[in-house]
Structure 1
Amino acid sequence: MSILFTIGDDSVSRPPVASPVILTQQGQGTFGLQGRPNQTISFASVTVQPDDSAELTICLADGNNIAFAGQQTRKTAEDIVLNLTSSGNADAQGPANIRYGPNNSIISISSNGTLDGQPFFIQFSGQPATTTPAAKTVTCTGRMQNSWQYRAEARNRRFTQIN
């Protein structure tokens, strides 16, 4: 007598697939670039891929955004440190310190560095999202590292649409 057991789904033997870390938050902050007026930040997002490549995007109050690419160099239960390397076609250098909290919210972002050789800074403080129906929808557009263009809408700290 022999017994043969089979598994209809072979996913049991596969290792788990790592997923990206995605942090988002409405808030208030300032982006400054030497020689230009400071700009107000209204929303920020951070995406860290399983290979530690990362993108930090800040949405400005005027509807434009600035996306930085880089590498995650440290992660704890409360913060992530990115080494920024580019912004679009521009060179960027400097660390970005991101403190995060529950529900993938961003508590704060602090960064000082250079963008094509010019000093820049980012200071951002996240605020708890309101759950009232009058909550503002934030829209950001940009270009990812792989040249894909995107448009993202968020409401109450959650993406509602990404194109």
Structure 2
Amino acid sequence: MKKPRSDAKLKSLPPHQREMLVRWLAEENVSYEIARDRLWQDFNVRTSIGALVNFYATQCWQRSSEHAREFASQVREAAKSTGEDFNAATLALIQERAFVLSRTQGSDVSDLATLAKIIGDSARLQLKQKELALNLDKFRQQVKSDIEKGLDALHAEIKGNAEALQLFEKFKAAVLRSTEGEA
């Protein structure tokens, strides 16, 4: 007579027990040793670690992956809703890291928080750079306005002197070129 497979007991568990085992392994991410002990204590079922490994590979892996994908998508959406201006590559990186963290036994979700902080700091730095560029543009416009006012005042002073007006027009053109970034 052929020896039955060691995981046959686990495949033939009543649905509620099989569901509980899947939950322990896939959602609670308990070790095989703890799952084996719980099976014995809760359902009076003895099994081996190898049988649990096989059960996980056939019954739990897909569910665990689905949960990880859902978690990663939720993290991505949470990152998008923070108001930070994340580009698609950054959001993909956040989602990938969240997936890896949720699939890695013993992983620390604080790794994800650290990643989000770094990305948030980077986004704040980009925002600050944009703010500085805007302030620089405002400053340049103010300087240009002040120069134009000064030129208008000088023009009013030399009205009537043709030679001075001719020099003034050359001077004005040179000054305006310098404010436009032309040397």
TM-score of the two chains, using structure 1 as the length reference? 0.23
| Bigger radius of gyration | 2
Greater relative contact order (Cα < 8 A, sep 6+): 1
Structure with more of its chain in strand, by fraction: 1
Structure with more of its chain in helix, by fraction: 2
TM-score of the two chains, using structure 2 as the length reference? 0.21
